[in-house]
Structure 1
Amino acid sequence: MFFGTKDTGPVADAVKSHWVDTRLPAWARPYARLARWERPIGWWLLLWPCCWSASLAAIAAEAPGPNPWHIALFLIGAVAMRGAGCTYNDLVDEDIDAQVERTRSRPIPAGQVSRSQAKIFLAAQALVGLLVLLQFNTFTILLGFASLLPVAIYPFMKRVTNWPQLFLGLAFSWGALMGWAAHFGSLSWTPLILYAGGICWTIGYDTIYAHQDKEDDALVGVKSTARLFGAWTKPAMLLLYTLATLLFALAAVLADAGPAAFAGIALGALHLLWQSIVLDIDDGDQCLKLFRSNTTYGWILFIGFVLDALIRWL
């Protein structure tokens, strides 16, 4: 599986001097880059809706906090499925990645990994995700399989719509349904509204991310909300982040959350407001920094929800 790879150096926008490039053997580095192991922001963004949903479920059930076993499973699953998703995306986008400055050094267009090797690696990561999914109740397992539809169609959307970030939101926010389902074995309005809020949040942060590539995207015909919004990106961000905040607050109301949860949402709203105000769409480095800061936002909401569950239980 792994033989025949060649390490021609890190991806252009990879984290410098990361353990992937300093600790892993040369044959393994292209696979780690395919899975974006040197960029944990991706699996954090996939994990947070799971954690928020599990925490709101704990509040609704008057439990002391989210199930630790579920959180551990979601973490493993997020790392595995984010890696699988990136590998799949790179297989689909090989022709586009080869034309974009930031992505042409990725393992497939750079020739570090063959398409056959990438497909085998994709299957291995998906198998890990499947083993994680099978630890949950039947309803959650079926719900997890349903998530494959938005995951499968997302890479093609940048070719046909100005709203590929919407489809990323459908895929990346799916955990908002999973955490609740894992606890209750069913869904209600609370996780559905949390899911809607997660979609708005995802469109916002990925619009920031997409501004790094807008010039190259225009040349190769790739569509995005960054290109769609253009100079109106800041007002669009304020609208999207406001909608996300209101929907998260409504989900908390429906879960019968208390002051700590709403304090977390309020502090998170200030963080999103900061992103919107300081954003410079022509500064690629700053766009990447603001995009990554959404890990902090995830922690703010999660801590508020967990504290609220603990306070209620005590």
Structure 2
Amino acid sequence: MLSRITILLEMIKFSHTLFALPFALIGMLTAARGLPGFWTIFWIVMAMVGARTMGMTLNRILDAEIDRRNPRTAERHIPAGVVSRREAWLLVAASFVLFEVAAWALNPLAFKLSFVAVGFLVLYPFMKRFSVAAHIVLGLTLAMAPIGATIAVAGEITLYSLLLGGFVLLWSAAFDIIYATQDIEFDRSQKLFSIPAWLGQRRALQVAALFHGVAFALLLLSSMLLEYLGGIYLAGVGVVGVMLVYEHLLAWRAKDPADIDRAFFTVNSYISIVIFVATCLDAIFFW
């Protein structure tokens, strides 16, 4: 049982939860202006785990045939036969239940809007089949993390949560564009839609840089919105700006998939952790 759980977690890249979870926790901390109660924290984390697991597993199921044809992804768990479709669908069902129970436990508005979130999670795997807006839809699914956590605590959507959500949307859409540069020729051959397949690598990276530039502006604006956000948070925003520049230097100079992996996973996981730690330290010293 433990080995099967480990395999399932590997299939959905559970470690990539680092991308969105810190932003949910930032939304929670800023909405509560500190730590909310234990059960609020617990159910926010459970909602994040449920939503992310459901979305990623559904994506793996629906993309299994595409992954089988792509040499880069042919060894993924479902096309390689390591995980059965039945197991994967059971994981989707279990994570959906976890997400909805968590949303219901938080408050009525969180529960009502949870079905909107599910809609985006279901929509995303289909997007690459008919629109280059797939990157934006992925961004929207991750942007729900800080907005949803704010709703969970405050029972409403705040301007700060929208700005932070806007950052997450454009930041994640941009790194998804960078990641998609690995599959330009395959996507074109399979008539799949992505910005790199549409515009080519150079222009796609320019679009990603534009997205990241606007995302950074939104993050900087958010740091000026709440009077109790202090210098540590602002310093964290500055570090994020430097890391975004470094990510694009890696992407422009990439000569093998390992370079793209560093730009996609390593740098972006550090970005979310840096801004989360900056928020926590700011809360400790200034709030």
Q: TM-score, normalised by structure 1?
A: 0.81
Q: Quick check: 143-152 or 225-234, which moved more?
A: 225-234
Report deviation, 1:285.
Answer: 1.1
Bigger mean CA deviation after superposition, 228-237 or 214-223 = 228-237
Aligned position for 1:255: 226
Matching of residues 145-294 of structure 1 within 5 Å: 145-229=115-199, 230-256=201-227, 257-279=229-251, 280-292=253-265, 293-294=267-268
2:13 aligned residue (28, 36, 55): 36
What amino acid is aligned across from residue 120 of structure 2 in structure 1? P
How far residue 301 of structure 1 moved from its aligned partner, in angstroms, is 0.9
Match of 1:115 in 2: 85
Q: Is the 8 A contact 1:35 1:83 kept in 2?
A: yes
Which of the pair has the greater relative contact order for Cα pairs under 8 Å at 6+ separation? 1
Distance 1:272 1:67 in 2: 34
Q: Name the SS of the counterpart of 1:254 in structure 2.
A: coil
Q: CA deviation at 1:186?
A: 0.6
- Superposed CA deviations along residues 98-149 of structure 1, whole A, max 9, x for unmatched, are 1111222223222334433321221122222233223312222222222111
Q: 1:267 to 1:67 in 2, by over 3 A?
A: farther
8 Å CA contact 1:205, 1:291 repeated in 2: yes
Counterpart CA distance in 2 for 1:194 and 1:289 is 24
What letter is aligned with 2:13? R
Q: Which runs of 5+ in 2 are unaligned?
A: none
Alignment match, 1:100: 70
Structure 1's 73 and 228: CA in aligned 2 closer, same or farther, altered over 3 A?
farther
**Over 6 Å off, 4+ runs:** none
Q: Deviations over 1:64-121 (max 9, x none)?
A: 4566654443333333332221221122112211111122222322233443332122
Q: Tell me if structure 2 keeps the 8 A contact 1:168–1:203.
A: yes
Matched positions, count: 283
Q: CA deviation at 1:243?
A: 0.7
Amino acid aligned to 2:261: L
Which of 43, 48, 52 in structure 2 is aligned with 1:73?
43
Aligned-residue identity in percent = 25
Q: TM-score, normalised by structure 2?
A: 0.88
- RMSD, aligned CA: 2.3
CA displacement, residues 243-281 of structure 1 (integer Å, 9 cap, x when unaligned): 111111222322222222211111111111111123235
Structure-2 residue corresponding to 1:56: 30
Given residue 290 of structure 1, which amino acid in structure 2 is its aligned partner? A
AA matched with 2:232: A
Q: Which runs of 5+ in 1 are unaligned?
A: 3-23
Structure 1 residues 71 and 289, CA, compared in 2 at 3 Å: closer, same or farther?
farther
Q: Deviations over 1:156-194 (max 9, x none)?
A: 110111231101001111112112112211112221222
